[in-house]
Structure 1
Amino acid sequence: MEDPRKLEEGLHAAKKNDDDISNENNEHNKSVTKSEPVAEEKREEEPPLVKQKAKRVATLDAFRGLTIVLMVLVDDAGGAYSRIDHSPWNGCTLADFVMPFFLFIVGVAIALALKRIPKVSYAVRKVILRTLKLLFWGILLQGGYSHAPYDLAYGVDMKLIRWCGILQRIALVYFIVALIEIATTKLRPTSLDPGHFSIFTAYKWQWVGGFVAFVIYMVTTFSLYVPDWSFVAKDDSDKLEKFTVICGMRGHLGPACNAVGYVDRQAWGINHLYNQPVWSRLKACTFSSPDSGPFRKDAPTWCRAPFEPEGLLSSISAIISGTIGIHYGHVLIHFKGHAERLKQWVSMALVLLIVAVILHFTDAIPINKQLYSFSYVCFTAGAAGIVFSLFYLLIDVWGMRKPFLFLEWIGMNAMLVFVMAAQGIFAGFINGWYFKNPDNNLVNWIQQHVFFDVWKSEKVGTLLYVIFAEITFWAVVSGILHKLRIYWKL
């Protein structure tokens, strides 16, 4: 998985904090006293900044928590179990569901959050501020400034900083989808007309936004001419060498000459792209495939090249994931019956899955996370819809909430777990206290003596370490913080 191979929501990107909203609204109300009848009358005429606080959606928190758990699992155990790590190119593994799941969550949360904010200017300010916060944390954590958990150094060469990343993509999708939702506030229906497709026509402008993103991505991907390009990387003798990739084509969906990579090289510069792409695990690059390994002597030059998995053009395609998520949120708002909600969600998910399977197995548009292909959007959004519906059935319909409480706790503090666990900041802090040499630290001692030595297997030990020392540990921490009503919010 791309470094840091990690994920708001993603992380609370679109998660509106109810307490903050309520406090701000209370402050606004306190500014007008009862002794001022004129001002009070004016206040009654104007819509409040925020509508009355709504009950949290346990299903959404649990789904967010599940996605965080998957992210930690594939990031830290993917090296031992390459089958759950990102697919080297075409195909979809467990790790490839994490990003679109977060974007789906972003969409659902936007629908619920902005439903409670009728004042447009206030909503726009909050969206812009949250977007800037996500960009800041994304560049700080994924731009190269932090080297946690094992490299105790910090700082980044601005000539090599990585501008794109997981939080940056989430920020873009959140910003676009939320602004469309805000801009159509006055067009938002209070009730739907009869008919299965009324929910689509009622929010047609959100779908228009998704369709525009689809057209931009598809036209650029299949019509943009990709010329030859060069890059500098280390050769087998660890010396810097200039390599050239021969292209001169259009509509190519392979690693070397696709429009997605070309747009990023032109937009950001090749030195600012991710320099450890997963395509290096392809059979064309290494005999160790699907694991990482030394390059073959006859490996193509592009095997050593950088590639940005969260780049500009692929992020435009990712807007569709957010659009589908916001549709699920609209269904949750307008349909009050469990059966009707599930009918809408599951039918939409099945259609998406069928479209994806047809596109992939006819080789029209393969499922590809690195390109964020349309079939990948459909497949992962359909999977998200199925999982979301299953959680809703278990938690909200059948009332089986207790088994998923740990996921709710993690989901309510997703940003904390993302930074501390997925980005390795907490482990890096612990590693900073070592004896004689940096490798002699508590984290390595626990891994070696509690897990590796006991199970006589590094693979099994790694998996159990991730499950108990990371996921279980942060579930407990998140539960304690929830009891104390402490949350890390953007």
Structure 2
Amino acid sequence: MADPEKIEEGLAHEENMEKKGDKLVEQQQQQQLQEQQQPLVKQKTKRVATLDAFRGLTIVLMILVDDAGGSYARIDHSPWNGCTLADFVMPFFLFIVGVAIALALKKIPKIMDAIKKICLRTLKLLFWGVLLQGGYSHAPNDLVYGVDMKLIRWCGILQRIALVYFIVAVIETLTTKHRPTVLEPGYSSIFTAYCWQWLGGFVAFVIYMTTTYSLYVPDWSFVVSTDSKTTQYTVKCGMRGHLGPACNAVGYVDREVWGINHLYMYPVWQRLKACTHSFPSSGEIREDAPSWCRAPFEPEGLLSSILAILSGTIGIHYGHVLIHFKGHSERLKQWVSIALGLLIVAIILHFTDAIPINKQLYSFSYVCFTAGAAGIVFSVFYILIDVWGWRTPFLFLEWIGMNAMLIYVLGAQGILPAFVNGWYYKSTNNTLVFWIQKHVFNNVWKSERLGTLLYVIFAEITFYGVLSGILHKLGIYWKL
């Protein structure tokens, strides 16, 4: 016969076990509920060192070619067809924008809130673009400010970045419900998973190619005013599909949309052999030069910026690869293979004269060539920094990349040198910036060209690297 006390102990033990089981089930349900709600909370994303270093490299290249390109024309923008060091800066920026969008928008709490933030950031980029490149400031060489609204330049680097950012980010946001969490097996799965992004890039490609080769470009005129006289010039066109400086559809669209007085007044084609005896450097326009040599042209215009969306699309693809593929070798296979494919396409198009590589027109071959180069450089940085762990040698690039907008404004747009030049002694040519460049670099090396290059490297770029490092240690960043 069973002991009553033992029966009661057994029943009590079973009751306790049931309570513990119920409590465990309740805890599991709460944990599942928290996991379901977790995507609604915006998580602080970890910075990608490779992306920061690559962004810093692009800023450094911009300062180098902007301030030393006048002395070394071979690193300055190509006068027309071809690609020089300066021609990589713009597409590198757009590639970075694409990668950053993929990382920033991989978790979207609320679509409408994300759209509002995208619109606000776009407006900020447009504002700073017009302010810095519209002609309001004449710094750092001329200590004057102000711009005639009849002549203000509406386009520029930040304006193009704003357009590409807006289109690519909106597509990424609106297709968030179609975004896969796990990719299907196969090399092409990453492309099919993000087909809407590639569709956006393809639409931009179709609009650009159709307009470039089918739009009729009529004759056009412009006026050049000097202190002594005003001269009107006429450029004879009446053709379609022309890819030269005079009668291309890219320039025609900008003249019709913005007005010829709102375009960039000093296009790089003025360094062509047909325009100056100083080729490939800048110089006086030849007396027998074609009329278009004196005309304005917008290198960051509307039609060319439409195809620039494709540069951002390729960049966002690299960001998607970074998100979905966790192994180093898998990421590098994807990145390097598409980069090599783009380079091959660009080289074939350029050397068969089908579509020359041309930054001013932002041609399709130029997109492929520069995006492929960006993919190779990004992959090399990834191997050195993330795979091999060589982060220390690239810290100064990483610091500049974390404060890219600030260094762009201070350095690439000359705001800090303008401030320093504002404190002159007797003459505006007698400033600290000019004195350092002349006495510490030009006179020491007995060469203005070499002195200018060394000044840009050691006085400008090094200074901004140190400044960025100090700001990073203080936790100070300027973001739009």
**If the length of structure 1 is used for normalisation, what is the TM-score?**
0.90
1:176 aligns with 2:167: yes
**1:398-421 deviation line (CA, Å, top 9, x unaligned):** 000000000000000001110000
Q: What's 1:119 paired with?
A: 110
Q: After superposition, give the CA deviation of every residue in 1:23-82 in whole Å (9 maximum; x if it has no partner).
A: xxxxxxxxxxxxxxxxxx999976655432221100000000000000000000000000
Q: How does 1:10-409 map to 2 (within 5 A)?
A: 50-234=41-225, 239-409=229-399
Q: 5 Å matches for 1:386-465?
A: 386-465=376-455
Given residue 46 of structure 2, which amino acid in structure 1 is its aligned partner? Answer: K
For 1:55 and 1:270, locate their aligned partners in 2 and report how far apart those are by CA, in whole Å. Answer: 45
Contact between 1:410 and 1:478, CA under 8 Å: does it hold in 2? yes
In 1, distance between residues paired with 2:287 and 2:123? 45
Q: Quick one: distance in 2 between partners of 1:144 and 1:383?
A: 32
| Distance in 2 separating the partners of 1:112 and 1:45 | 21
Q: How far apart, in 1, do the equivalents of 2:397 and 2:266 lie?
A: 31
Name the count of aligned residue pairs.
Answer: 449
Say if 1:49 and 1:436 are closer, same or farther in 2 by CA, change over 3 A. farther
5+ residue gaps, structure 1: 1-40
State the distance in 2 between where 1:365 and 1:238 align.
Answer: 42
1-side partners of 2:234 and 2:50: how far apart? Answer: 50
**Using the alignment, how far apart are the partners of 1:404 and 1:49 within structure 2?**
35
CA distance in 2: counterparts of 1:42 and 1:163, whole angstroms: 51
What residue identity is the alignment partner of 1:404? F
Contact 1:49 / 1:122 at 8 angstroms: preserved in 2? no
Mapped contact 1:138–1:166 kept (Cα < 8 A): yes
State the alpha-carbon separation in 2 of the partners of residues 116 and 281 from structure 1.
48
Q: Show structure 2 runs of 5+ residues with no match.
A: 1-31
Q: Distance in 1 between matches of 2:34 and 2:342?
A: 46
Q: Does 1:469 align with 2:464?
A: no
State the secondary structure of the residue aligned to 2:169. Answer: helix
**Displacement after TM superposition at 1:293 (Å):** 0.8
Counterpart-to-counterpart distance in 2, 1:345 and 1:187: 23
How far apart are 1:132 and its partner, in Å?
0.4
Q: Which whole-Å CA distance do the structure 2 matches of 1:390 and 1:43 have between them?
A: 40
More deviation, 237-246/274-283: 237-246
| 1:82 alignment partner, SS class | coil
Tell me the distance in 1 between the aligned counterparts of 2:389 and 2:200.
Answer: 36
What percentage of residue pairs aligned between the two structures are identical? 80
1:487 alignment partner, one of 457, 471, 477: 477
Structure 1 CA distance, aligned partners of 2:45 and 2:389? 19
**1:372/1:451 CA distance change after superposition, 3 Å:** same
Work out the CA distance in 1 between the residues paired with 2:116 and 2:204: 24
Q: Is the 8 A contact 1:346 1:386 kept in 2?
A: yes
In the alignment, which residue of structure 2 is the partner of 1:4?
none
Distance 1:50 1:383 in 2: 37
In structure 2, the residue corresponding to 1:231 is in which secondary structure? strand
Aligned mates of 2:41, 2:107 — CA distance in 1: 6
Partner of 1:152, secondary structure, is: coil
Cα distance in structure 1, aligned partners of 2:141 and 2:45: 42
